[in-house]
């Protein structure tokens, strides 16, 4: 019997039992669709986090003071007072450091901010003009902090878009308006373009002021909470990290790196950690979805076994008329493959559609991995062969006489 005839006969057999065929296909559709949609969700989340981290600055190192040591154990990063403006200037001007492009000293703290009858609790960061370049800050209204404002300790502020909404309302123009921070009145001179959150901090919920104003008028501190260091390229980030580390050890009169009173965070290390974490999360999601594929395959095997039982007399008659085992096996495998191929195609379509709808609803990137689509289709074909083989062999091994006597 020709393969075309076997395919035609298999389709006719499946069409006869539409409900059973539909239920068998449904299991594969759910499995394939779930795998593609969940892998897409994981990859979309990974891409979003990567872009948000990179939007904070390229080739970035962040130096933070370590907390006070107690019994040889260092406190949390960012909890100390060991970094100064002189440290930042030394990194910027040192002849021994050849891999650093820009240096941005920063002082950050949370404060209650008031504008008229509205108020919000947000992060206030004291910065110099170079901050905008290092941290990729762009303006939507007004201007950023200037050198003159830093040197004169001007009472001016630049607001993130979320702060503008909280204090002045949606669509308001706050330029020239005043806000109060810790008893000091500051004039708004600019609003930054929206950048969104990173999962750890909303980059639009920040107020920027001159560094000198933050240290001496708002917080009354002389140290820095961090120093952002921009390396000249991604290739020299490790060298920059080492050069900055050794310089600060020398400035702080420390000979053993284990005793350092600061920590240096590499942006690339953070990206690698995020990629590893989201990759594991995506794999976990795909594994959970793959369970439904297994269930769908078992469903197909059960239905094929039922089909074998119902068609026992037919199989016996065909074998009595000379049909070979190969023909019987091939027909049942074709029926199983048709079920999984149709389910796979529909599942791929639904998975891609679900990913597209998710990207629209969440305003995230629409990411569908070609690899996951191809893999899902191959798996669907494999399920057809794997779970269709046993029923096919069982049908082919029936003895003609016993099959014809079957009631």
More confident residue, 120 or 308: 120
pLDDT in tens, 180-198: 999 999 999 999 998 765 4
pLDDT at 199 over 60: no
Q: What is the mean pLDDT of residues 263-267?
A: 84
Q: What is the mean pLDDT of residues 40-52?
A: 73
Q: What is the mean pLDDT of residues 281-290?
A: 71
pLDDT in tens, 325-362: 677 777 777 777 888 888 888 888 888 888 888 888 87
Q: What is the mean pLDDT of residues 37-47?
A: 77
- Range of 74-78, 267-271, 295-299, 356-360 with top mean pLDDT: 356-360
pLDDT in tens, 79-119: 568 899 999 999 999 988 999 999 999 999 999 999 989 99
Indicate the average pLDDT of the chain: 80
Q: What is the mean pLDDT of residues 156-174?
A: 92
pLDDT in tens, 203-214: 889 999 999 999
56 confidence band (pLDDT: 50, 70, 90): low
User: Which of 30-39, 51-60, 213-222, 225-234 is predicted least confidently?
Assistant: 51-60
pLDDT at 72 over 60: no
For residues 385, 387, 389, 395, the Cα torsion angle rounded to the nearest 10 degrees is -140
More confident residue, 226 or 301: 226
pLDDT at 70 over 60: no
Share of the chain above pLDDT 90, in %: 32
pLDDT the model gives residue 71:
46
Q: What is the mean pLDDT of residues 3-9?
A: 68
125 confidence band (pLDDT: 50, 70, 90): very high
């Amino acid at each position: 019997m020709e393969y075309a005839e076997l395919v035609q006969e298999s389709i006719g057999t499946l069409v006869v039992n539409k409900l059973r065929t539909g239920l068998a296909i449904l299991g594969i559709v759910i499995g394939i669709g779930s795998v593609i949609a969940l892998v897409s969700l994981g990859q979309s989340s990974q891409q979003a986090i990567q872009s948000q981290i990179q939007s904070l600055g390229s080739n970035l190192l962040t130096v933070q003071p370590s907390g006070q040591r107690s019994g040889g154990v260092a406190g949390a990063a960012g909890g100390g007072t060991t970094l100064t403006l002189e440290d930042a200037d030394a990194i910027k001007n040192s002849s021994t450091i050849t891999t650093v492009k820009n240096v941005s000293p920063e002082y950050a703290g949370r404060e209650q901010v008031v504008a008229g009858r509205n108020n919000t609790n947000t992060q206030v960061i004291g910065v110099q003009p170079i901050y905008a370049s290092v941290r990729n800050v762009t303006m939507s209204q007004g201007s950023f902090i200037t050198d003159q404002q830093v040197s004169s300790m001007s009472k001016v502020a630049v607001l993130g878009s979320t702060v503008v909404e909280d204090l002045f309302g949606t669509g308001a123009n706050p330029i020239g308006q005043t806000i109060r921070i810790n008893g000091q009145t500051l004039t708004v001179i600019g609003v930054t373009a929206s950048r969104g959150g990173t999962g750890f901090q909303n980059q639009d919920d920040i107020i920027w002021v001159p560094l000198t104003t933050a240290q001496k008028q708002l917080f009354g501190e002389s140290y820095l909470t961090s120093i952002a260091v921009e390396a000249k390229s991604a290739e020299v980030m490790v060298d920059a990290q080492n050069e900055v580390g050794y310089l600060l050890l020398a400035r702080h009169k420390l000979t053993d790196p284990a005793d350092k009173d600061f920590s240096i965070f590499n942006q690339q290390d953070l990206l690698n950690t995020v990629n590893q974490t989201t990759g594991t999360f995506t794999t976990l999601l795909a594994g959970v979805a793959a369970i439904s594929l297994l269930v769908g395959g078992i469903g197909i095997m059960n239905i094929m076994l039922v089909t074998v039982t119902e068609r026992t007399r037919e199989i016996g008659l065909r074998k009595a008329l000379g049909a070979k085992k190969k023909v019987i096996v091939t027909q049942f495998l074709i029926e199983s493959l048709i079920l999984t191929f149709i389910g796979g195609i529909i599942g791929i379509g639904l998975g891609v559609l679900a990913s597209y709808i998710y990207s629209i609803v969440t305003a995230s990137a629409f990411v569908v991995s070609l690899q996951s689509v191809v893999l899902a289709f191959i798996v669907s074909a494999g399920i057809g062969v794997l779970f269709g083989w046993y029923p096919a062999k069982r049908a082919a091994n029936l003895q003609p006489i016993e099959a014809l006597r079957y009631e």
